[in-house]
Amino acid sequence: MSVAHAQTPILGFTPASSARQTDIENKLKSIPSADEERRQHRIFTAEPHVAGSKRNNELADYIAEEWRKQGLEDVVIRRYDVYGTNPKSASLEMIAPVHYQATLREAPLDADPDSKNPAISGAWLGMSISGEVTAPVVYAHSGNPEDYDLLRKNGIDVKGKIVLVRYSNPYSYRGFKALTAQREGAAAILIYSDPAESGYKKGKVDPDGPWGPEYYIQRGAITYDFMVPGDPQTPGWASVPGAKRIPIDEAASMPKIMALPLSWHDAKPLLEDMDGPLAPADWQGGLPIQYHLGGERVRAHLKIEMDNGIQPYYVVEGRIRGADLPDEWVVLGNHRDAWVFGGVDPSSGTASMMEMTRALGQLAKLGMRPRRTIIVCSWDGEEVGLTGSTEWGEQFAEELRAKAVAYINVDEATSGPNFHGQAVASLAPMLEETTRTLQDPSGKTLYDAWKETVAREKEEGQQSGPFQSGVVSSTLADTRIGSGSDHTVFLNFIGMPVIGLGFEGDYGVYHSAYDDFYWMNHFGDPGYRYHTLMSQLWGVTALRLSNADLLPFDFASYAGNIRQFVDELTKGKDMTPLDLSGVRKGIDAFEAAGGRLNDSLNRKLASGQLDRQLAQTLNRGMMQVERNWLNPDGIPGRPWFKHILYGARFTYAHLELPGLTEAVEKQDWPTARQQAEILERALKKNTELVDRLNSSLTH
Ligand SMILES: [Zn+2]
């Protein structure tokens, strides 16, 4: 006991259980090894394994078998029959003013044996429609609505034409680009990777550096999953075999446009021959040419044949049954499907998961079984509309709402050394505390390394990729959680608190054949040290949530975060038509209640005297708080997205207070008032709940 009292207790733990937990964590941290991470990574990156493919299904069997060997329990492979997408053929031919046949392939690199694998797919975008068109090509910059406004100002109409857009500058999700082109009446959209964003303008290219080479092609799906994710034909329910399906033409998330990605090698001939006005300075890219808007001169013939239709996706599920509280669940997940080899995305995460589960299995064998049940899932079809996790979440929604403590997602475990941690604000303090106990390869604690990364990125004003940094001043954790990975169903549909973990770095080969074992071993994580650290971090975070005496939720922190969201929403806007004083009072009350509960919980934990029944009441109550942020009707126009604090824009960018924010932006004041009332009611409900929990402690 003297040892236990000598150390600072862990959030949510009594002094005695802190000491025990520290022993367990030290044991866990000693298990993952860089050699094993590398060995697992090689297995997952050996062959292309896109969703629905034979190889990806074999990997599901492999994971299930490994998990059984590692000591996981109740390992099952769940099948979902979903509307999937596969390429049949694609050709793009420039027919005027000169002839050019696009290669639509990624050239092999001598240094990288995997890049010569004949199973590598050509250029394709998931959920493109099939079709054929011969039409002029217009350059539409990033393909966002304001880009088409500029084209219109220049007298350029894209109706019936082929639009050529680049991936970033600024970043927007390719599905949003496709929807925008569809709304503008374009016949097809070509999306290419400009060297200014992912290639030689950034630095050395693969095989000499981490950036995308001349033939780099970014595949991806264009599903409109910002409307509703998952199988397009089963919005809101699970695609278990035999499930009811809506007609595909009625599916809100289905694109109605042809779409194809290009390397800059294939985009350059189209761009350099374009006529029309010179494109503005911020539309100019990294190629040594003058970018024009185009109009009539460049014409192309595009033909795409897709094989879209029902096919099975497989989710692997395993668990370590909780020793004390088997009906309280901590859920962990990573997707398995990759566009090609998936060196970073997702196989770095998959390798880390396999080492994390090996460690958890060993602990259980040593008698260090978690108190709560840990469920681990290998998702399928994340890359195609977040499908596996969405269907699984929809299937078990009721049970998860009753039992789940939190979901921890790891998609890309590492593309470099910079840690990014996302968490709903109630879990931000526990995540930060957890990183203090881990060692970064730089020699600092992970916490200190994280702090430096956050400071540096703030200075650089870095806004990269779908996971734009949204760090709130008081925390290191990014508490602005948009969509774009498997946490979505858990947060936005089920109302579970979520955490997302990943290390990032210079990464110019996203969703291409070059994102592979070679790339990881030369640029991403040559010593597999960040893979190892991810296995440790993921495991320790899961064990803190599964072993805590009282769940480490901080609702005062949550309230502060919500206040910041409201401040940002109202900043610089004329809010006269909308009275938010009730919302603000509600936030103050929730913050005060959260503060009181924090104090009482800490006192209780410090006393070391914790009645089992009381702990159960408190934990169940705290789990309910996140559920109370759900509005069963969803946000206006998007009923599947039920969380009133978190949502995502169509671009995938995070969107706080989604229903309220969108209404304010449209100046739709009746809807805004309605959304504010919903928020106010939820705040009141959670304040009362937290106060009730507090009085059960103090009386
Ligand atoms: Zn991914």
Provide the pLDDT for residue 474: 60
Distance CA 678, CA 674 (A): 6
**Is 70 exceeded by the pLDDT of residue 512?**
yes
Average pLDDT over residues 651-663: 95
Q: What one-character-per-residue DSSP string does 416-484 give?
A: SSEEEEEE-GGGHHHHHHHHTTSB-TTSSBHHHHHHHHHHHHHHHT---SSS---B-TT-SSB----SS
CA of 411 to the centre of ligand 1 (A): 5
CA of 87 to the centre of ligand 1 (A): 20
CA of 172 to the centre of ligand 1 (A): 16
**Residue 342 — left, alpha, or beta (φ > 0 → left; ψ -120 to 50 → alpha)?**
left
Provide the pLDDT for residue 461: 73
Amino acid at 599: D
Task: Choose among 86, 54, 82: nearest CA to 312.
Answer: 82
- DSSP single-letter state for residue 630: B
pLDDT (tens digit per residue) in 117-174: 999 999 999 999 999 999 999 999 999 999 999 999 999 999 999 999 999 888 899 9
- DSSP single-letter state for residue 638: B
Let me know how many helices (H) and strands (E) the chain has, helices first: 21, 18
CA of 168 to the centre of ligand 1 (A): 18
CA of 228 to the centre of ligand 1 (A): 18
Answer yes or no: are the C-beta atoms of 381 and 313 closer than 8 Å.
yes
Q: Which pLDDT band holds residue 4 (cuts at 50, 70, 90)? A: very low
Buried b / exposed e along 317-339 (16+ C-beta atoms within 10 A): bbbbebbebeebbbbbbbbbbbb
Task: Choose among 1, 28, 4, 14: nearest CA to 370.
Answer: 28
Provide the pLDDT for residue 226: 96
- What is the greatest pairwise CA distance in the chain? 84
Answer yes or no: are the C-beta atoms of 338 and 345 closer than 8 Å.
yes
Q: Which pLDDT band holds residue 698 (cuts at 50, 70, 90)? A: confident
CA 30 to chain centre: 28
Place of tokens 């303008």: 201
CA of 485 to the centre of ligand 1 (A): 7
- DSSP single-letter state for residue 115: G
pLDDT (tens digit per residue) in 559-592: 999 999 999 999 998 899 999 999 999 999 999 9
Peptide bond into 170 cis (omega under 30): yes
Amino acid at 526: P
Q: Which pLDDT band holds residue 368 (cuts at 50, 70, 90)? A: very high
CA of 179 to the centre of ligand 1 (A): 22
- Relative to beta strand 309-320, strand 188-192 is unpaired
Average pLDDT over residues 105-114: 98
pLDDT (tens digit per residue) in 29-50: 999 999 999 999 999 999 999 9
Residues near ligand 1 ion, CB 5 Å cutoff: 345-346, 411
| Residues with catalytic roles | 382
Answer yes or no: are the C-beta atoms of 499 and 203 closer than 8 Å.
no
Distance CA 342, CA 517 (A): 8
Average pLDDT over residues 397-406: 98
pLDDT (tens digit per residue) in 301-310: 999 999 999 9
The β-bridge partners of 325 are 372
Long-range contacts of the stretch 356-359 (C-beta < 8 A, 24+): 356/32, 356/332, 356/534, 356/535, 356/536, 356/538, 356/539, 356/542, 357/66, 357/67, 357/70, 357/72, 357/318, 358/31, 358/32, 358/36, 358/70, 359/28, 359/31, 359/32, 359/535, 359/536, 359/539
Answer yes or no: are the C-beta atoms of 295 and 138 closer than 8 Å.
yes
Provide the pLDDT for residue 7: 62
Provide the pLDDT for residue 463: 47
CA of 583 to the centre of ligand 1 (A): 36
CA–CA distances in Å: residue 330 to residues 185, 318, 410, 496, 538: 46, 12, 14, 10, 12
